[in-house]
Structure 1
Amino acid sequence: MRRRSLLAASGAAMLPALPSRAEGAVDLLLVLAVDVSRSIDDDEARLQREGYRSAMTDPRIIEAIRAGMLGAIAVAYVEWAGSDYQRLVIPWTRIGSPVEAEGWAATLARAPRVALSWTSISGGLDFSMRTLSESPFEGTRRVIDVSGDGVNNSGLPVEAVRDRVVAEGVTINGLPIINDRPTFGRPSPVPLDQYYRDSVIGGEGAFLIAAEDFASFGNAVRRKMVREIAGLPGPVFG
């Protein structure tokens, strides 16, 4: 019940209503699962959101979407922090044209932001899997796209949740942000890109693309989304 109350209190009412079931088929169901833990300050959060907004409206992304057999994807935007906080910021939205992409980007620009402590990648993956199960669209592929700047330090072990999600036929791709600021909680025992490779990503064609810092995040998002939408095989590192 607490997770449901957090969803209601986080401004979900200002977002478009969820579409009815059986909205139709798309080439890809894509959950963008974004870290909003305390290690990410306001400037970094803005860079993250701007990265996703500019990527979604980039002509290369639109071209990749329209090149699919069905010419459309469905996207859900999730923010996560500790094990007790995950939020559906933008519900499932069909994107198959520049107009639909611009509408999605405008919705993200209006959405309020909440920053909380701790980093539960496992909680974010679990919530993303439930979001996939509630999609009103049918997708030929299902992908969870996880971005963050720290290791799992809250909730279940991320490897166990990763394995469970992959067993359901879902691919998990990663966008680790190599942040030079201090993190909260347990530091990574290995470089963050290696941690994502070993403990977070998985499934058919899984890959990661690391952002060297928040300033380079937008370019990394575009590169990764083109590969995800086009269904190009992994792994790719760096």
Structure 2
Amino acid sequence: MRLSRIRRIMLAAIVLLGWAQSPVARAETEVDLALVIAVDISFSMDPEEQALQREGFIQAFRSPAVHDAIRRGMIGRIGVTYVEWAGASDQRVVLPWAIVDGPDSAAAFAAELSLKPTRRASRTSISGAIDFARQQLAQSDLAPTRKVIDVSGDGPNNQGRAVTLARDEAIESGITINGLPVMVKDPGYFDITDLDLYFRECVIGGPGAFMVPVRSREQFVEAVKTKIIMEVAARPVPGRAAERDGAGLVIPAQAPGRSPNCYAGESQWRDRMGN
């Protein structure tokens, strides 16, 4: 009888352990926003640009305006992770998911980010970045009201699958993609002149999608801060020049109505490398 009782206890323990580890039983944290910051580290981003980009995000999470935007949310907290990407198989989580619910947790996120080294890598796969960011959102222990991928980059997709396919699948799964096209220097060997239009037509999408082009190094930090505030608050920043179009909010777009080639990066790479 004692053996039978021990077996029943062991069986109950196994059942309870399995229940505790099942996805259904996993506790999820409710947040206003689950935000994946996906940062371009391809070789076309020079060290100074990388430093300015990193500093922009650090200053954003130290900003009282960002703290206030988080506090004003229905829940009053967001989840955020910081990812760096380059080629189709090169994406890394620099900072895992963190809950930011006020100045202290935001400052802690900024401080941890400031300690991480920067790196550079080859090729540019925006589609790979979007797909990787989708995985991070799907695997998080968060129950967000909104899901956003924040993509920065200084060139078009030139490796991996078509960026429009990755974008459309992300939108279909309820994700908004916002953009930070970096246009602070003359286009190089694998760049395009109308990167903001490329981001507008080929990269961003979903409810309330927008982009904030960066056209000077002096503008970099402020542009990143503005973008984070807009994403947290889910609305335009008062006093900023903006215009509406079919892709969402654009600040500001050049030559509205032009349609760039969403395969421009792939075509450039093939023509110049001969494959």
1:236 alignment partner AA: V
CA contact (8 A) 2:65 2:229 kept: yes
The equivalent position to 1:156 in structure 2, one of 157, 161, 177, is: 161
2:249 maps to which of 226, 235, 238: 235
Note the C-alpha offset of 1:118. 1.1
Question: Which position in structure 2 is the counterpart of 1:42?
Answer: 47
- Give the number of aligned pairs: 216
- Whether 2:181 is the aligned partner of 1:176: answer yes
Residue 222 in structure 1 maps to residue 236 in structure 2: no
Q: Tell me if the contact between 1:48 and 1:214 (Cα under 8 Å) persists in the aligned partners.
A: no
1:197 aligns to 2:211 (yes or no): no
1:60 offset after TM fit, Å?
Answer: 0.4
1:124 to 117, 129, 152: 129
List aligned pairs for 1:1-238, cutoff 5 A.
22-185=27-190, 187-188=191-192, 191-232=194-235, 234-238=248-252
Letter of the 2:142 counterpart: F
Q: CA deviation at 1:133?
A: 0.6
Q: Give the aligned partner of residue 5 of structure 1.
A: none
Q: Deviations over 1:2-27 (max 9, x none)?
A: xxxxxxxxxxxxxxxxxxx5351110
What TM-score do you get using the length of structure 1 for normalisation? Answer: 0.87
Contact kept? 1:78, 1:90, Cα under 8 Å: yes
Quote the Cα distance in structure 2 between the aligned partners of 1:118 and 1:183: 13
- Answer yes or no: is the 8 Å Cα contact 1:24–1:137 preserved in 2: yes
Partner SS, residue 235 of structure 1: strand
The Cα shift of 1:75 comes to 0.3
Higher relative contact order (CA 8 A, sep 6+): 1
Q: C-alpha distance in 2, partners of 1:149/1:214?
A: 13
Give the whole-Å Cα distance in 2 for the aligned partners of 1:22 and 1:220.
36
The alpha-carbon distance between structure 1 residues 193 and 138, as it changes in their structure 2 partners (threshold 3 A), is: same
Asked whether the 8 Å contact 1:146–1:172 carries over to 2, the reply is yes
Deviation at 1:182, TM superposition (A): 4.6
Partner of residue 10, structure 1: none
- The 2-side partners of 1:102 and 1:111 are apart by 15
Per the alignment, residue 11 of structure 2 pairs with: none
Deviation at 1:184, TM superposition (A): 4.6
Q: CA deviation at 1:205?
A: 0.8
Q: What is the DSSP-based 3-state SS (H/G/I as helix, E as strand, rest coil) of the residue aligned with 1:150?
A: coil
Cα offset, 1:43, TM superposition: 1.5
Cα contact 2:53–2:224 (8 A) shared by 1: no
- TM-score, scaled to structure 2: 0.76
Q: Distance in 1 between matches of 2:189 and 2:174?
A: 33
What secondary structure, in the 3-state scheme, does the structure 1 residue paired with 2:108 have? helix
Q: What residue ranges of structure 1 are gaps of 5+ in the alignment?
A: 1-20
| Partner Cα separation in structure 2 for residue 224 and residue 65 of structure 1 | 14
Q: CA shift at 1:216, angstroms?
A: 1.2
Q: Larger radius of gyration, structure 1 or 2?
A: 2
